[in-house]
Amino acid sequence: METVDCIIVGAGVSGLVAAARMAQAGRRVLVLEAAPRVGGCIYSWRLNDEIKANEAGADFWLELGAHTAYNSYSQLLEALQARGRLDDLLPREKMGYSFVAADNTLHSPLKRLNFFQAAFSLPFGIRKPKPGLSVAEWFGGLLGRGNYRNLLGPAFAAVLSQPADSFPAEWLFRRKPRMQAAPRKYTFPGGLQGLLEALAEGADFELRKQTVVSAVSRDATGYQLQTSSGPLACRQLILAVPVDAAAVLLADVLPDVARELQTFPMSSSEALGVVLPASKTRITAVAGLIGVDDDFFSVVTRDPVPHATLRGFTFHFKPGRLGQDAKLARIASVLGVTPADFLHVRGNINRLPSPGVEHPKRVAAIDVKLTREPLALVGNYLNGLSIGDCAERAATETARLLAL
């Protein structure tokens, strides 16, 4: 049986940052990815995948999953810097967000803010500790319930691509140290997926795509994995997969942890991206749009990285509400165009954890059980949903494994 020091299951942000750190410490690392691409929840749709390289717009890409990265994501940037690719970052232009009204007019966030209510609530709300409170409780106390209902609630749902009221307040907007050498907001050639591809290219670890792990077992020397390409063994194991997939793989190894993970709720959003000529839509350049009592949570645009002839919009629809034709009609009405104006259309289902206010305590209890285990859980269900949260968790857990 082929044996390595560490196997990492999953080649998203969490898995690749963990792989870079384990390999840098001198471990022989193997990363297994079930999909034909790296990225996980980062999915950059590239037109050159479906049109000829010399055709107009072949250089265009649009994010259908996670879409924004900041220089506070230091663990991710450190891994990129180690690959010598930090200078390849593309700065995103500073642009704002607008709310979409029922009549498709766009409103500034400030127009939805009750300044009197905010001024009254802020001195009292700012003093409350976040642990143990939901987003609705803490931010509703910060700026007032009316401001939360009209402004913050829809904005946070747009950020998370799911209802945000029950999300743990302590996980939202956690401060992180910034890497000053990187742009404040950035992407990468070919989209954020290109950044993860840069982490994997020529790395000191091996990456095997389209390799599915079906079972994990353990003996005194480590772990054995049954995969679609044959059995593998390792001394240490890192699961960088969605929480429900981690629960399945841990069923025989750590059944009590697996049972706990099985109860973690999941949510989804239905992303639909459209590309159209830049001259067609009436929408001025904007980073994104926020739905209010609408069929979509948010709209993410390509505008912060402008293209000469094309514009792109990804609508993150609420699950199970609209069919494809209805989605395209809603997109067209918001953009002030017709579906016939769309040059390219691509959809993607984004599955995300849906944590509640009790979630941090549940994760802390799991971490206690893993303290001395040569196994780590990393991903977007353990300390927050953002790219930076995933990279941070990968860094802390690899440090723990390296110290065992």
> In percent, how much of the chain has pLDDT > 70?
100
Q: What mean pLDDT comes out for the span 77-86? A: 96
The CA–CA distances, whole Å, from 360 to 14, 256, 404 equal: 18, 18, 24
Packed helices 359-370 and 255-262: angle between N→C axes, nearest 10 degrees? 160
pLDDT the model gives residue 349: 97
pLDDT in the model for residue 173: 87
Q: What share of the chain is helix, strand, coil (3-state, %, to 5)?
A: 35, 25, 40
Please state the pTM of the whole predicted model.
0.95
Residues of the chain with CATH 3.90.660.10: 93-98+266-353
Q: Are strands 97-100 and 106-107 parallel, antiparallel or unpaired?
A: antiparallel
180, 71 contact by CB (below 8 A): yes
Distances 251 to 78, 238, 243, 278, 381 between C-alpha atoms, Å: 34, 15, 12, 51, 18
| Position 330 pLDDT exceeds 80 | yes
pLDDT at residue 52 in the model: 76
The length of the chain is 404
Q: pLDDT grade, residue 174 (50/70/90)?
A: confident
Could you tell me where in the chain the CATH 3.50.50.60 domains are found? 2-42+64-90+184-264+357-403
pLDDT digits (tens, 9 = 90+) for 358-388: 999 999 999 999 999 999 999 999 999 999 9
Judged against a pLDDT cut of 90, whether residue 55 lies above it is answered with no
Could you tell me which CATH number the domain at 2-42+64-90+184-264+357-403 has? 3.50.50.60
Q: What is the pLDDT of residue 49?
A: 79
Q: What is the pLDDT of residue 102?
A: 86
Q: What is the mean pLDDT of residues 53-75?
A: 90
Amino acid code (one letter) for 355: P
CA distance 283 to 298: 15
CB 216 within 8 A of CB 248: no
Q: For the segment 145-170, what is each residue's pLDDT rounded down to a tens digit?
A: 999 999 999 999 999 999 999 999 99
The predicted structure's pLDDT at residue 272: 98
> Does residue 48 or residue 26 have the better pLDDT?
26
Q: Does domain 93-98+266-353 have CATH number 3.90.660.10?
A: yes
- With tokens 């302590």, the residue in question is 170
